[in-house]
Amino acid sequence: MNRIDIFNLARRNLWRRKLRTFLTTLGVLIGTTSIVVMISLGIGMKASITQDMERWGSLTMIRVTKGMIYDDEGNPLKDGKSLNDEAIEELKGLEGVKTVSPAYNAWGDAKYGRKVGGLDLVGIDPEAMPDLEFEASEGRLLESGDRNVIVVGSQVINNFRDEAMIRRMEKGGMIDRSREEEQDPKEMMDQRITMEVRNHERNQKKMFNFTVVGILEGDEDQNSYSAFAPIDDIKKMREFELGSQAKKQRTPPNRGRNSDKMRVSKRDPFDYDYILVSTEDVKVTSDLSQKIKDLGYRCWSMADNLKGIEETSRKMQAILGGIGGITLLVAAIGITNTMIMSIYERTREIGVMKVIGASFSDVYMMFITEAGLIGLFGGVFGLGLSYGVSHIINNLTQGFMGGGMDPAEASTGISMIPPWLGLFALVFSALIGVIAGLYPAHRAIGLSPIKAIRNEQ
């Protein structure tokens, strides 16, 4: 008998006992659904958490700050490596680094039209801005050669209030903030923002003017409340702010007794406040972050939290998958029981097959094929049911998991079935059927043809 004949014979044998086949397949269906849905919950929860992290900050970004050297007792001795141009070149030489940009921070009072407020200004390399995953919803990003221009986050405009309102607040007047409407960041496009900077002695001040050329994408991420300017412009602000104090800070401090137990600061006032490093892929971010720490810097990345999430997700999937696996094990026992009962009912048929020339392997393959088909059918219908259950779970949880978010942003549900999980379910259920049919198949080929034919059944 060829394989097609064996397959057709197995299919007809299953069809003759519809109710028994249905009930046995139902057990596999429930087991497959349990495993797929349980594992999908772990996958979906990990994907949902990862998506929330990406919404707040990029998973391919590393923020590098100055490190600290400690003694054996854990007391700080001196600063680690400085954040200067040498550090920039060192970080650029690391494998997996895509872009490196130094950054200066500046904060001060600012004026926009008739409104006043505070402005958190960050100076970065304009050429690196696209590779640092900045996107403009309006206007453009910073470009090489830009001077006295800024790109603002979508929430920066809400830092400004009308001067008349500020005066009322200073006089103790009550402001009904419930009547305040959220301001449209587009209003800032092409507008001038003036920032006031005072020197270190606080006896001089200087006004720096910037023109808004772009609004950043994103309403609640880490860049929403900051403005970004060319780093050369911010360096000029720092030079004015520090003035003569910068020269004093460059002079090494006078060491007294016990100086070995004191922190020795070698920080240059014009060292960068921090350095932004963009990696080529999120998969290398955590490892690259550790390499940077080993070089003597401090750094932080959103991707550092992924290791814990992935470990928790794997444990959760193992636990939930194990619970579903118990159900599938019960289904496998049901397949074995069904096939053994089939042997007793078809003893005469098996004997006739052997007498007319069917080999042991033909009989063996027929029972294995029947058991495998039961597992495969249960897997197919179970997978279909899993998609339905997953859809229902996501719809039921969308209300409180979304948290009022834009539906387009809350696309990842708590249950997610990737293609590999669906393929695994089909292969695993069919394999369970085949394994469950091994013992009955051995029982079938062990029957004596003469005794089988004499059997009244």
**pLDDT score recorded for residue 260:** 40
Q: Based on the fold, state whether residues 83 and 226 are members of the same structural domain.
A: yes
Query: What pLDDT band is residue 194 in, cutting at 50, 70 and 90?
Result: very high
**pLDDT score recorded for residue 380:** 92
Taking the whole predicted model, whether its pTM rises above 0.75 is answered as: no
- What's the total number of domains in the chain? 2
Report pLDDT digits (tens) over 352-370: 676 666 677 777 788 788 8
Instruction: Report which listed range, 76-90, 121-135, 218-232, is most confident.
Output: 121-135
Q: Based on the fold, state whether residues 14 and 130 are members of the same structural domain.
A: no
Q: Based on the fold, state whether residues 448 and 365 are members of the same structural domain.
A: yes
User: Max CA-CA distance within the chain?
Assistant: 116
- More confident: 308 or 88: 88
**pLDDT score recorded for residue 261:** 37
Report pLDDT digits (tens) over 9-23: 777 877 877 887 888
**pLDDT score recorded for residue 142:** 92
Q: Based on the fold, state whether residues 49 and 70 are members of the same structural domain.
A: no
Instruction: Report which listed range, 127-141, 318-332, 404-418, is most confident.
Output: 127-141
SS (H, E, C) 385-448: HHHHHHHHHHHHHHHHHHCCCCCCCCCCCCCCCCHHHHHHHHHHHHHHHHHHCHHHHHHHHCCC
Report pLDDT digits (tens) over 228-247: 999 999 988 888 887 655 55
Among the ranges given (4-18, 186-200, 208-222), the one the predictor scored with the smallest mean pLDDT? 4-18
**pLDDT score recorded for residue 265:** 44
Is it the case that residue 404 has pLDDT exceeding 50? no
Is 298:64 a contact under the CB 8 Å cutoff?
Answer: yes
Long-range contacts for 45-48 (Cβ within 8 Å, ≥24 apart)? 45/313, 45/316, 45/414, 46/309, 46/310, 46/312, 46/313, 47/412, 47/416, 48/401, 48/412, 48/413, 48/414
Is 301:275 a contact under the CB 8 Å cutoff?
Answer: no
Report pLDDT digits (tens) over 405-425: 454 444 557 788 889 888 988
Is it the case that residue 264 has pLDDT exceeding 60? no
Residue ending a domain, choose from 302, 334, 357: 302
Q: Based on the fold, state whether residues 236 and 335 are members of the same structural domain.
A: no
Share of the chain above pLDDT 70, in %: 73
Is it the case that residue 315 has pLDDT exceeding 70? yes
Q: Based on the fold, state whether residues 40 and 81 are members of the same structural domain.
A: no
Q: Based on the fold, state whether residues 159 and 67 are members of the same structural domain.
A: yes
**pLDDT score recorded for residue 405:** 47
Domain residue limits at 128: 62-302
Q: Based on the fold, state whether residues 24 and 79 are members of the same structural domain.
A: no
Residue ending a domain, choose from 283, 302, 321: 302
List b or e across 59-70, with b for residues whose CB sees 16 or more CB atoms inside 10 angstroms: bbbbbbebbeee
Q: Based on the fold, state whether residues 409 and 343 are members of the same structural domain.
A: yes
Residue ending a domain, choose from 286, 302, 318: 302
For the chain, give the number of residues: 457
- CA R_g for the chain: 35
Q: Based on the fold, state whether residues 393 and 376 are members of the same structural domain.
A: yes
Cα-Cα-Cα-Cα dihedral sign, residues 407, 409, 411, 414: negative
Among the ranges given (7-11, 155-159, 381-385), the one the predictor scored with the smallest mean pLDDT? 7-11
Q: Based on the fold, state whether residues 12 and 38 are members of the same structural domain.
A: yes
Q: Which of 249, 273, 81, 67 is nearest to 89 (CA)?
A: 81
Q: Based on the fold, state whether residues 135 and 68 are members of the same structural domain.
A: yes
Query: What pLDDT band is residue 262 in, cutting at 50, 70 and 90?
Result: very low
